[in-house]
Structure 1
Amino acid sequence: MAEQRTPRSLIVTFYGAYGREAGGDEGLPVASLIRLLGAVGVDAPAVRSAVSRLKRRGFLVADGSRYRLSDSARVMLADGDRRIYERPALKDDGEWLLAVFSVPEQERGKRHLLRSRLARLGFGQASPGVWIAPSQVYEETRHTLLRLELTPYVELFRGLHEGFTPTVEAVARWWDLPSIAGLHRGFLASQEPVLARWSAKGTQGAREAYRDYLLAVDAYRQLPYADPGLPGSLLPDDWPGARSAEVFASLHARLRERGAAHAAELLTA
């Protein structure tokens, strides 16, 4: 979650949460982005600097005085929607997805891209060149590899773990579970009090909903990528993943639409 709460991360979060609707095909002027991000504590110079970096990275495209999402950014955000809001149902059938790859040394940039994308899809490393994930991520994995033109280097297999180490022990080698649990607990430490406040007070203003929703999405959006979605039988008894998903779903249901009203107000200011 290295980009969390940076101006650049918050701009990406805004476009994912509201910007595609608000900006449409024409995009948004910097003045609007300054108002929209000012509501979550980002000052004008930081917004301008972050917009420039996102333009250089190909996330935003300048169109006169307005900035719109690039085609690749729209695809990335659509992929993020599926991962964050529509994650495939957890399976506990013992089936795994294996990605076996080999990349020539002269194309080591592709090797780095492939490893980073597999990690973002939730794969753990079983051995050099062999990565493993729960089988429910097959469709997303296939889509991602096709989109990034990485299929010539990868073969995908489905199967059972029949090794000599119990699966629960092997999983602890393939993923850094304490680190992932720490990410969940960090999210809960910041967002459970927000949910408690909204639950206790009931209806609050659109401004507060907008602020709290953007910060909640920014805090949560990397978690579904870091957490592979393992069945509970392979996780520690106190695993916090289900609770963090519940808290985020509750905040999304309470705040998203209320916050949209404030975003619309800022755009017409």
Structure 2
Amino acid sequence: MSADPEGPTGADADGAVLADGAVLDDIDARPGSTASLLRTLIGLYLRPLGGWISTAHLVALADDLGIPAAPARTGIARLKQKGLLLAERRDVSGYRLNPAAVPMLERGDRRIFAVREMTDADGWCLVSFSIPESARSVRHQLRRRLQWIGAGTVSAALWICPGHLQGEVEEIVDDLGARAWVTLFRGAHPVVARSPREAAAEWWDLAALRAEHLAFQASLASLPVEPFAAYVHLLDAWRMLPYVDPGLPPAMLPEDWPGRRSVDEFARLSAELADAASAHVRATVSRESA
């Protein structure tokens, strides 16, 4: 995934890449930016709308998010360049969701809307790799993407993540063509000389994760009043957390860990806003079409 100075992903963030190298999504991005809000909007609603939307509809919905028409059109063009959207004219000009992006968005749905938190009895996946210097870029991408799905660093070539993420690790390894250099192990409980909480604090940047949770919780006070805009902004602020926070078990977290409150608040607000937001999208498309 390439860095994007303007903003974060839509409804998924795992960095799928097309065969020709076009980036469908990226992770180095800023919540609340034009690019981020447009990706969130597209990830949420293009599939329920049948995978296609007119340019006018998309610009109108962007306007409801506070994005003026000119920046919206520029942002949409960038998403087309990155391969998330394909230009397709029907009765009017519009955009179709790239079919290659659908698996990425579906993985994002599972991560974002079905948050998994470990119990103390759950197992782990260990990722060991020895990648030659001739494939240094693969090694860099592997580490980058393991970090993005919430894996922790035991050492430079040994990473750890919840056992339920093994499938995502295998997809990453396959995407990078790194099978020959990577070995996965399933384990029950890490045996360390220090306490589980001390080990977790070494393997994950818990201070940074705490800051992400607190920033998300603070953002809830400034959500827009209108349900559609509030819901898209909610998703845009939230969608990164279920990736970078692996949902560690209680024994490995501080007593005052803010993760549970974030999950609860997201679930509560989603339940309040989602239906009204969807109704607004349908009404906008119908009204503009008429």
Which residue is 2:71 aligned to? 46
Give the Cα–Cα distance (whole angstroms) in 2 for the partners of residues 124 and 155 of structure 1: 16
Give the Cα–Cα distance (whole angstroms) in 1 for the partners of residues 108 and 177 of structure 2: 19
Q: How far did residue 18 of structure 1 move? A: 1.5
Segments of 5+ residues of structure 1 without an aligned counterpart are 198-206
Preserved contact between residue 197 and residue 254 of structure 2 (Cα < 8 Å): no
**1:19 maps to amino acid:** L
Match of 2:207 among 156, 169, 178: 178
Preserved contact between residue 91 and residue 136 of structure 1 (Cα < 8 Å): no
Match of 1:4 among 31, 38, 53: 31
Q: Give the TM-score normalised by structure 2.
A: 0.82
| Local SS of the residue matching 1:61 | strand
Q: Give the TM-score normalised by structure 1.
A: 0.88
**1:178 maps to amino acid:** A
After superposition, the C-alpha distances for 1:142-197 in whole angstroms (9 at most, x for unaligned) are: 34444554433321112231232322211101111111111111111121575xx9
Preserved contact between residue 5 and residue 218 of structure 1 (Cα < 8 Å): yes
| Local SS of the residue matching 2:192 | coil
Task: Quickly say closer, same or farther: Cα 1:182–1:40, change in 2 above 3 A.
Answer: same
Segments of 5+ residues of structure 2 without an aligned counterpart are 1-7, 9-28
Which residue is 1:95 aligned to? 123
Greater helix proportion: 1
Give the Cα–Cα distance (whole angstroms) in 1 for the partners of residues 84 and 30 of structure 2: 15
Q: How far did residue 88 of structure 1 move? A: 3.5
Q: How far did residue 241 of structure 1 move? A: 0.4
Number of residues of Structure 1 aligned to a counterpart in Structure 2: 256
Q: How far did residue 47 of structure 1 move? A: 1.2
Structure 2 residue 276 is the aligned partner of structure 1 residue 258: yes
Which residue is 2:218 aligned to? 189
The residue correspondences of 1:191-210 to structure 2 (distance < 5 A) are 191=220, 208-210=226-228
Q: RMSD over aligned Cα, in angstroms?
A: 2.1
The residue correspondences of 1:27-176 to structure 2 (distance < 5 A) are 27-64=52-89, 65-93=93-121, 95-146=123-174, 149-159=177-187, 160-176=189-205
Give the Cα–Cα distance (whole angstroms) in 2 for the partners of residues 244 and 265 of structure 1: 31
**2:47 maps to amino acid:** R
Give the Cα–Cα distance (whole angstroms) in 1 for the partners of residues 114 and 176 of structure 2: 21
Preserved contact between residue 95 and residue 161 of structure 1 (Cα < 8 Å): no
Preserved contact between residue 89 and residue 136 of structure 1 (Cα < 8 Å): no
After superposition, the C-alpha distances for 1:81-100 in whole angstroms (9 at most, x for unaligned) are: 01011234523126321111
